[in-house]
Structure 1
Amino acid sequence: MIDNAVNVRIRNADVLNVMLDIEPVPFNRGFYSIDITFFFSVTLDVYSSPNTAPQQVEGLCISDKKVILYGSEGNVRVFSSDMTADDYDTQNTPARSLPTANVQVAKPIALAVNVKGKKPCHKVCHKIPSAVLQQIGGNISERGERVVLATLGVFSIVQLLRNVQMLIPSYDFCIPEKRCESSTDSPCEMFSRLDFPTDEFFPPNVVENNPDNGGGCGCGCND
Structure 2
Amino acid sequence: MIDKAANVRLNDVEVCSVSIGLQPIPFNKGFYAVDMTFYFDVCLDVFMAPNALPMPVKGLAVFSKRAVLFGSDGSVKIFSSDCSADGPDQQNQPTRNCPKAVVQVAEPIPLCAKLTERCSHPCMPPFRIPEAILRRYGGEFVGPEADKQVLVSIGLFSIVQLERNVQMLIPAYDFCIPHKECVSSSEDPCELFSSIEFPTNEFFPNNLPLDKKKAHTCTACGDT
If the length of structure 2 is used for normalisation, what is the TM-score? 0.67
Alpha-carbon deviation of 1:106?
Answer: 1.0
Distance of 2:43 and 2:87 partners within structure 1: 41
Q: 2:147 aligns with which of 141, 145, 148?
A: 145
2:31: which partner in 1?
Answer: 31
Alignment-mate amino acid for residue 32 of structure 1? Y
Q: Does residue 1:125 correspond to 2:122, yes or no?
A: no
Distance of 2:125 and 2:46 partners within structure 1: 21
CA pair 5-165 structure 1, distance change in 2 beyond 3 A = same
Q: Secondary structure at the match of 1:149?
A: strand
2:16: which partner in 1?
Answer: 16
1:212: which partner in 2?
Answer: none
Q: Which has the larger radius of gyration?
A: 2
CA pair 79-136 structure 1, distance change in 2 beyond 3 A = farther
CA pair 24-123 structure 1, distance change in 2 beyond 3 A = closer
| Contact 1:48/1:54, CA 8 A, preserved across alignment | yes
Moved more, 136-145 or 103-112: 136-145
Segments of structure 2 that go 5 or more residues without pairing to the other structure are 174-224
Distance of 1:123 and 1:29 partners within structure 2: 32
| Contact 1:14/1:41, CA 8 A, preserved across alignment | yes
Distance of 2:171 and 2:32 partners within structure 1: 33
After TM superposition, the structure 1 = structure 2 runs for residues 14-163 of structure 1, keeping only pairs within 5 Å, are 14-80=14-80, 93-94=90-91, 95=93, 96-119=96-119, 120-122=121-123, 125-142=126-143, 143-163=145-165
CA pair 90-152 structure 1, distance change in 2 beyond 3 A = farther
Alpha-carbon deviation of 1:134?
Answer: 2.5
| Contact 1:79/1:93, CA 8 A, preserved across alignment | no
Alignment-mate amino acid for residue 38 of structure 1? F
| Contact 1:101/1:161, CA 8 A, preserved across alignment | yes
Deviations 1:185-219 (A, max 9, x none): xxxxxxxxxxxxxxxxxxxxxxxxxxxxxxxxxxx
* RMSD, aligned α-carbons: 2.6
Alpha-carbon deviation of 1:124?
Answer: 6.4
Alpha-carbon deviation of 1:132?
Answer: 2.1
Segments of structure 1 that go 5 or more residues without pairing to the other structure are 172-223
Alpha-carbon deviation of 1:81?
Answer: 5.6
Distance of 2:86 and 2:11 partners within structure 1: 47
Q: Secondary structure at the match of 2:122?
A: helix
| Contact 1:108/1:152, CA 8 A, preserved across alignment | yes
Identity among equivalent positions (%) equals 45
Q: Secondary structure at the match of 1:77?
A: coil
